[in-house]
Amino acid sequence: MHPSAHRSKSPAGRLAAAWLTTAAAAAAAAAAAAALLVLAGCSSGLNRPVTSVDAAVDSDGVQRVKIRLHSFYFEPNRVVVRVGKPVELELHNHSLLIPHNLTIAHESIAVSKGVGRKRTHRVRFTPSKPGEYPFHCDVGSHSDKGMTGTLVVVP
Ligand SMILES: [Cu+2]
């Protein structure tokens, strides 16, 4: 190649080259941000399908259910239990970075249990009235992002 080939670039060509570099950097930054989101386990919980579980009654009479807390949804997000028997929810927060919580705010069931990153906590209560009780995560705006569910108490 002739040495002058390097010097023959027009100002427009140099501009285009500079723009391409900027665009490449922006694309790389976007990819890094996306990778971080995936690492953090952040995905919208909106419009997720309903995943329902029927609690089994253990030999000691306790209805145990495992609920996984993700950013930003519960899995399962619908839990069916019998009235009048103790319920034990095992809450496991799968997020590496984000603390979560499960809250039921109702006159007959009042639960609010925070779960730190990668932690597991249990909470117990006995439902006294059949009905549908919404639950949500009360951290930040997580419930707006879809971190909600329903506890269904059947006779
Ligand atoms: Cu949360």
Q: Which of 111, 2, 27, 106 is nearest to 67 (CA)?
A: 111
Q: In this prediction, what percent of the chain has a pLDDT beyond 70? A: 73
> Measured in angstroms, how far is the CA atom of residue 97 from the centroid of ligand 1?
11
Cα–Cα distance for residue pair 53/134, rounded to 1 Å:
15
> Measured in angstroms, how far is the CA atom of residue 78 from the centroid of ligand 1?
16
Cα–Cα distance for residue pair 57/83, rounded to 1 Å:
12
Its pTM stands at 0.74
Looking at beta carbons, which pairs linking 22-25 to residues 24 or more positions away fall under 8 Å?
none
Provide the residue ranges of all domains of the chain, joining segments of one domain with +.
4-40, 52-154
Encode pLDDT of 55-73 as tens digits: 999 999 999 999 999 999 9
> Measured in angstroms, how far is the CA atom of residue 85 from the centroid of ligand 1?
27
Residue 141: band (very low, low, confident or very high) from pLDDT cuts 50, 70, 90: very high
Look at the domain 52-154 and name its fold.
Immunoglobulin-like (2.60.40)
Helix (H) / strand (E) element for 107: namely: none
Number of other residues whose CB lies within 10 A of the CB of residue 53: 15
> Measured in angstroms, how far is the CA atom of residue 52 from the centroid of ligand 1?
19
Cα–Cα distance for residue pair 64/82, rounded to 1 Å:
11
Residue 13: what pLDDT?
Answer: 58
